[in-house]
Chains A and B, each alone.
Chain A
Amino acid sequence: MTGRTSDGPSREAVRDRLDRVTDPELDRSIVELEYVDAIEIDGDRVTVHVTLPTAWCSPAFAWMMTSDAREEVERLPGVARTRVFLREHMHDAEINRGVNAGLPFEDAFPDADGAVDAVRAELDRKARIARQYDAVEALLEAGLNPETIVSLRPRDLERTNRGDRVAVYLADRAVGVSVPAAPIDDYLEKARETGAVDAPTDVLFRTPEGEPIDPEAFDLVHRRARLTQVNMSGQGGICDGLREAREKRLERTPSVRRRSGLLLDFE
């Protein structure tokens, strides 16, 4: 199979779209986590196959990932129809039917307590807090003090000529400090998505509850952000382990999965 057909999307473009989909509990890309088993492109039709670490993975999370994947790929120019198939999950039948028919979660799962929005909002909130830790660490590393950090606003940030750095302007723009862009960008993306930061004059960093940070409470808030990261990566450890155990049980060797990963990367 070639990567590009006459009028369809390239495999790389599909993969890039899928890379934007995260496991909501771990805040990591489903491509990086190797949940994507295969991408099939047939003209303007794309089919994606996905497997999660365990068949018992929360149906709400499984729903979010498969529906997000479908939505992302569908946005690509040249894609007329996208199908996402979840494999080896307790509820794969309901999820595959519901997601590919574009149904809302509560229609696909009449037994559930309603939409997935509340669960998603809570996990997004945690993802923002975890990302805040890295952004604040970068600023501390650059020599900014807590009082300054809690007072920063998006308008104080400016991209430098080097794309991988951001300048932070202090003291009425009298002083500029250069910091790595990646953790700041990652944070801003989630902060905007969750509505924690909207206008250029909004306070950039927030408590987990979404309030501006009192300089006195800076250390405690930063500890809480670290804790949120530890929780996410701890859960990642459980998911990793469950996946390994399941692979062994299904006698599907890890090398097969690795091969499918390589196909995605290089085909």
Chain B
Amino acid sequence: MYQQDGESIFVIDAHVHLWDASEENIVHEGGEEFIQCFYDYHTTFTPEDLQWGMDEYRKYGADRMVRDLFEDAAADMAIFQPTYLSDFYEDGFNTTHQNAELATEYPERFVLNGSFDPRDGEEGMEHLEELHETYDIQGVKLYTAEWRGESKGWRLDDEEAFRFLEKCSELGIENIHPHKGPTIRPLNRDAFDVKDVDDAASSFSELNFIVEHVGLPRLDDFCWIAGQEPNVYGGLAVAAPFAQNRPGKFSEIMSELLWWLGEDRLLFGSDYALWNPDWLVEEVMEAELTQEHRAEYGVEWDLETKKKVMGENAAKLYDIDVEEKKAQFREDEISRQFGLEDHYASEEPAAADD
């Protein structure tokens, strides 16, 4: 938990990956381009002394991930958002099955999301059902720009995509996370067009659409849609690290988001291992809106707002009882491993031992 002004803020990192971009796993040049592009984003927005080497960036493994997230209690929980890219990587880049290695070892700490691709037809439908059955997933991460054979992407408002959304609704998979972010080579820019979210969100009002990366570089289209659809949320991955080396831009983007969506519909995410919560959480928690933006937009990045964005909003979407979790973390394996039992000790004075 992050300590600020004498309070503890429970942090749910709503966007993490356990990926494998090792050379042995790459089967298409797109796979190499993809990880190189990620690495550019990593070095662009990571303080120089904390940047990783390319080799460890390709494949960092479960142990390092657990340390980075939890060793210093940078995050208290994390949500896995898979990215399959099966045409680029032999075993996939970051699939639900790969993520499950960690998620099933520490089920109290991780939420495991699934995915679907409407181009997979009946087989894809079975895969979704299987994921739901095996892991009881409550959310899916969708990558509309994924290449599949000749196809360079799909849209959320396609007829076939609607069939999958219906299935999600039927299975109680309520949280839909479409990736709508910066162009990542070799994927097409147009495949990250955010406008398809509009129709899907109004057609499936019972589902929540958490648009990852707040549509950057289509923040304008995203905010306009979110302003009209109450079940559209914004995932802050990519926007968050602006706090570190573009604080003025962070202030401005955050002000816009708070003005258009309000403090109840934004979720913090590090996008690990693009960026690492062990420094990013602090940057975001300590960031301030400029006086000028506060006056212009009439919004605040204060403790109450941060509590919601850093954890409470995600907890609500995923039915996480934060108080129950804190109690659980006084003695779970992660806390024992890193000596965090006291960290999660009750804030109330301990009862007398009688």
Interface positions of A (Cβ within 8 A of B): 25, 54-58, 60, 90, 113, 119, 126, 208, 223-224, 226-228, 230-231, 233-235, 237-238, 241-242, 244-246, 248-249
Q: A residues within 8 A CB of B238? A: 238
- CB of A224 within 8 A of CB of B189, answer no
* CB pair A58 B256 closer than 8 Å: no
Q: Does B124 contact A (CB under 8 A)?
A: no
Are B242 and A237 in contact, with the CB atoms below 8 A?
yes
- Return the contact of A224 from the options B37, B183, B220 (Cβ within 8 A): B220
Cβ-closest chain B residue relative to A244: B44
Q: Which residues of A contact B219 (CB under 8 A)?
A: 227, 230-231, 234
Which residues does chain A contribute within 8 Å of B71, judged by CB atoms?
Answer: none
A58 to B45, CA, bound (A): 20
Per DSSP, chain A at the interface is: helix
Q: Which of A56, A233, A249 interacts with B183 by CB under 8 Å?
A: A56
Q: List 10 A-B contacts (CB under 8 A).
A: A56-B33, A56-B186, A90-B33, A208-B224, A226-B256, A230-B256, A231-B219, A234-B249, A237-B246, A238-B216
Contacts of A233 in B (CB 8 A): 249, 252
B41 CB within 8 Å of chain A: yes
Whether the Cβ atoms of A242 and B216 lie closer than 8 Å is no
B249-A54 in contact (CB<8A): no
**B245 CB-CB contact with A under 8 Å:** yes
B223 at interface by CB-CB < 8 Å = yes
Closest to A223 in B: B259
Chain A-chain B contacts (Cβ-Cβ < 8 Å), number? 80
Residues in B with CB closer than 8 Å to A242 are 40-41, 44
Partner of B186, one of A60, A90, A248: A90
In angstroms, Cα B221 to Cα A208, docked, is 10
Confirm or deny: B43 has a beta carbon within 8 angstroms of a beta carbon on chain A.
Answer: yes
- Interface residue ranges of B189-208 to A (CB < 8 Å): 189-190
In the complex, how many angstroms separate the beta carbon of A150 from the nearest chain B beta carbon? 19
Min CB–CB distance B32 → chain A (angstroms): 11
Would you call A234 and B190 a contact (CB within 8 A)? no
A234-B219, A235-B217, A242-B44 given; A60·B33 CB < 8 A: no
Taking CB atoms and an 8 Å cut-off, the chain B residues in 26-71 that contact chain A are: 33, 37, 40-41, 43-45
Known: A56-B40, A119-B190, A230-B256. A25 touches B217 (CB 8 A): yes
Instruction: Give Cα A228 to B37, complex, Å.
Output: 26
User: What is the bound-complex CA distance between A55 and B37, given in angstroms?
Assistant: 9
**Smallest beta-carbon distance A118→chain B, Å:** 9
**B184 near A241: Cβ-Cβ < 8 Å:** no
Taking CB atoms, residues of chain A closer than 8 Å to B152 are 113
Pair B252/A230 contact, Cβ less than 8 Å? yes
Q: For A234, what are the chain B residues with a Cβ–Cβ distance below 8 Å?
A: 216-217, 219, 242, 249, 252-253
For residue B97, CB closer than 8 A to chain A, the reply is no
Is B182 interfacial (CB-CB < 8 Å)? yes
Binary interface profile of B, 214-229, with partner A (CB < 8 Å = 1, else 0)? Answer: 0011111001100000
B44 to chain A, nearest CB (A): 4
A248 to B39, CA, bound (A): 13
Query: A238 contacts which chain B residues (CB < 8 A)?
Result: 44, 182, 216-217, 238
The answer to whether B185 has its CB under 8 Å from any CB of chain A is yes
- B42 to chain A minimum Cβ distance, whole angstroms, is 9
The reply to whether the CB of B260 lies closer than 8 angstroms to some CB of chain A is yes
| A174 smallest CB distance to B (angstroms) | 34
CB distance from B37 to the nearest CB of A (A): 5
Q: Which residues of B contact A241 (CB under 8 A)?
A: 44-45, 245-246
Provide the bound-state CA to CA distance between A224 and B223, in Å: 9
Pair A246/B242 contact, Cβ less than 8 Å: no
CB-CB contacts of B162-175 with A at 8 A, as 1s and 0s? 00000000000000
- Give the most central of A226, A228, A237: most B CB within 10 Å: A237
Are A56 and B185 CB-contacts (below 8 A) given A234-B253, A238-B216? yes
Chain B residues lying within 8 Å of A224, measured Cβ to Cβ, are: 220, 224
